[in-house]
Amino acid sequence: MKMIMRWFPFGDDSVTLGQIRQTPGVSGVATCLPKVPVGQVWPMETLKALKEEIHEAGLEMEVIESVNIHEDIKKGLSSRDKYIDAYIKTLEHLSMVGVKCLCYNFMPVMDWARSDLASPSEDGSYVMAYRHDEVLQMNPEKMAKAMEGKARGYSLPGWEPERLSAMARDIEFYQSMTREQYWDNMKYFLDAVVPYAEKYDIKMAIHPDDPPWPLYGLPKVITNAENIRTFLDLNTSAYNGLTLCTGSLGSDLSNDLPAMMREFGNRKRIHFAHIRNVRHISEKDFDEAAHLSSCGDLDMFSIVEALYESGFEGYIRPDHGRMIWGEQARPGYGLYDRAIGANYLLGLWEAIDKTHKNKK
């Protein structure tokens, strides 16, 4: 297991590599090239420069999060092949700089949704919050622009500026698409890309839908254990796997996260784990919370123990953090609370590891 943190390069992050390097137990970063338009090949020279900067800081760059998928691929349009070819070329470039795992998603139109990026908590911290009725009442295009503004000058992953004006049209397009058609489009992408992932030794790790339920009539498919089984059966290669995000899947109270960790971990299909906590206000309303089990509704000990017992050897990162101690940073990606979360998770892992070894 390797503990990593997400980092946004080239001046788009308030957190520095030096600060991440000083966080005990963190070996590397998951990073990206957010300025490259979706559908274009990631430039080799830019990747080399990025790797050099990260390695000079004493960290690894084995995980990319993420190479976003062009909407034409998700829609199944005739133009998708040229974008798939560009995706494959990007995989080749990533392999040449030592990348071993690629976190991506297949969420239509928007990567994730929140009603508030800086909701005040009782302890004085600020968290990202989701209120279902508020989100449903928002015009999707206006919501995108509002979230862009609330990011305090930082770009938000998956919310590409060039897509904002087209969101309403894209949402309308999907109203006539069945779930079966969406699964077919996903399989088409996997069957084209996974053989090259095998060739280049890069584990493909899909991220769940966030939130994991229907929104604006869009197809949501990576939402629960049954759907994940369907997804893994679309392409049975070991390189077709998961980023198992406890915050996304844990937003649905019916999801049994320890059971999912065991099932898909035992199948060796979890390549990356995003671990964070959520506190439910109601069935479909929640606040993101500190990682500690008592701060939210998810049992972090049971989740990490299940992952450990499955023989997990991939990458873990503390997912979204709160804004604490007056920090001003990209929503969800400040330093302080994520560093606390990383060491909490490392402490759980060490305790579970020593307990199991002492039983032998």
Contacts of 141 (CB under 8 A, 6+ apart): 164, 165, 167, 168
Q: Checking DSSP bridges between strand 2-6 and strand 26-31, what pairing results, if any? A: parallel
In angstroms, the CA 155 to CA 360 distance is 49
CA 224 to chain centre: 16
Tell me the residue length of the chain: 360
Nearest to 38 by CA among 101, 84, 78, 103: 84
* Residue 268: burial class (beta carbons within 10 Å; 0-12, 13-18, 19+): middle
Is 276:248 a contact under the CB 8 Å cutoff? Answer: no
In angstroms, the CA 233 to CA 239 distance is 12
- CA neighbor of 34 nearest in space, from 5, 1, 7, 55: 7
Token pair listed for 98 = 């030592």
Only one residue has tokens 């760059």, namely 61
Dihedral sign computed on CA atoms, order 92, 95, 99, 103? positive
CA dihedral angle for residue 248, residue 251, residue 252, residue 257, rounded to 10 degrees = 60
Tokens of 99: 């990348």
- Maximum CA pair distance of the chain? 59
Residues recognised as catalytic? 207, 245, 274, 319-320, 333
Amino acid, single-letter form, for residue 115: S
Concatenating the DSSP letter of every residue in 197-250 gives HHHHT-EEEEPPPBSSS-BTTB---SSSHHHHHHHHHHS--TTEEEEEEHHHHT
